[in-house]
Structure 1
């Protein structure tokens, strides 16, 4: 059974009332057991099956370094506990692989939220009863994002006390032909004039900006992607490689929101 863990955390305070975080999902870890009978020890958060491996592939799991408090326990007789890297492609169907990836991302964004709240000293619980998500007691606004391919999965979260917020993390490029299907004609006219390398970068940032606003206003996807943000393209175009390790803040006078572009984290936040 895979366990979701995170690495490469990045925490950013956007303003006195807004914070975001990003992280990479670790390759899944599976717990394997050699039970003394048909019974076994089960540590479980999600109902995802474990894949058997040859004993020669396994390494001893150091139980002392494992955080037991985060798991539900069902304890039976056992004598040996192992761990392994989880390889879903080796035994699962395409549908099962996609389901497992979604579960990892779903668990990942919630784990990242817990980490962010701990970082800023907030004890609270997520209320998922309606959109936008909010924290149960403090009523802070919360928004999630995740993105991945077969090699890399990343997650992001933003919280704010002030208003509904949006966030989008992308590990893949947005193809020009895809942008031409969805973007507003005014945007396409400006993008067509850019050098191809800059156009590709701005296409992705514009997509992330649109996705973030979709989450704030609960637009349908095609509707949100078709809204005209041409006025923001010059500011997005001005972001260069020198800005890679810093955040760029853009003021959107039309919506009274601010746009944070975090190139190193492959993330755009509307707050």
Structure 2
């Protein structure tokens, strides 16, 4: 199998003097070498059976790559893992930083200068979700959105999301105050805010190493008024002050990314 990995839609953003992030779409085209099956129809001359080359009918059959759901999901995870690391390399090149990633513990840091690193990835928005499929065809392209943040100052968090959070999922994890505030809004606004809250929670999980249930259960209802203003603003980057614990929240609207720095 042959695969080609590429990054497109690259965006670099400097959030302050010590913090930089990048987002991109990573894609991988899977190919298999074509096995050509040749079927021949022979012609007979006289009473001796022999092939008349000009009378042979050739049929070519291209191989189709078929992967089970589990292997397909594994390929998607591999793509995301490789994609965020390739994006980190490109960001470090932009910053003229020569270093490597230390993955021995959380949060991730650069090996030499100790800068903090955080990753995020999500499957591209489409109806053909990997978990709902059973086969991958020849020359098909897998895609994911990837994001990375580097901070010289302290642990930071980042989360990129292509899809809205299902309301029944929010009802399971969000606090009573968050749900009360969200339920009073029109559905489209509710869904947009529920997604932003999810991204904030995911980002703080990465910063503080909360468990998933603990992090999603944190109450950020006090942020909702400011988040509503962000959704109404026209700027591609919105920054919200956060008193817990003196972090700032950057919303990169066009990149569907939230950063805690």
Alignment coverage as a number of residue pairs: 218
TM-score scaled by structure 2? 0.79
**How far apart are the structure 1 equivalents of 2:177 and 2:246?**
21
1:173 paired to 2:164: yes
Query: In structure 2, what is the equivalent of residue 113 of structure 1?
Result: 88
Q: How does 1:224-239 map to 2 (within 5 A)?
A: 224-239=215-230
1:161 paired to 2:136: no
1:104 paired to 2:79: yes
1:12 paired to 2:13: yes
**How far apart are the structure 2 equivalents of 1:28 and 1:241?**
38
| CA drift at 1:20 | 0.3
In structure 2, list runs of 5 or more residues that go unmatched: 37-62, 130-141
- Cα distance change of structure 1 residues 230 and 91 upon mapping to structure 2, 3 Å threshold: same
| CA drift at 1:242 | 4.7
TM-score scaled by structure 1? 0.77
Alpha-carbon contact 1:4-1:29 (below 8 Å) kept = no
**How far apart are the structure 1 equivalents of 2:155 and 2:33?**
44
**How far apart are the structure 2 equivalents of 1:90 and 1:19?**
40
1:182 to 173, 182, 189: 173
**How far apart are the structure 2 equivalents of 1:202 and 1:90?**
40
| CA drift at 1:25 | 1.0
**How far apart are the structure 2 equivalents of 1:53 and 1:206?**
47
| CA drift at 1:195 | 1.1
Query: In structure 1, what is the equivalent of residue 23 of structure 2?
Result: 22
**How far apart are the structure 1 equivalents of 2:229 and 2:143?**
28
1:253 paired to 2:234: no
Query: In structure 1, what is the equivalent of residue 203 of structure 2?
Result: 212
Query: In structure 1, what is the equivalent of residue 42 of structure 2?
Result: none
Aligned with 2:184: secondary structure?
coil
- Between stretches 12-21 and 1-10, larger displacement belongs to 1-10
**How far apart are the structure 2 equivalents of 1:91 and 1:52?**
14
Q: Deviations over 1:206-227 (max 9, x none)?
A: 0000000000011110110001
Aligned with 1:233: secondary structure?
helix
**How far apart are the structure 2 equivalents of 1:179 and 1:164?**
26
1:147 paired to 2:147: no
In structure 1, list runs of 5 or more residues that go unmatched: 31-50, 56-86
Query: In structure 2, what is the equivalent of residue 3 of structure 1?
Result: 4
- Between stretches 171-180 and 149-158, larger displacement belongs to 149-158
| CA drift at 1:27 | 3.7
1:240 paired to 2:231: yes
**How far apart are the structure 1 equivalents of 2:171 and 2:143?**
27
**How far apart are the structure 2 equivalents of 1:54 and 1:9?**
37
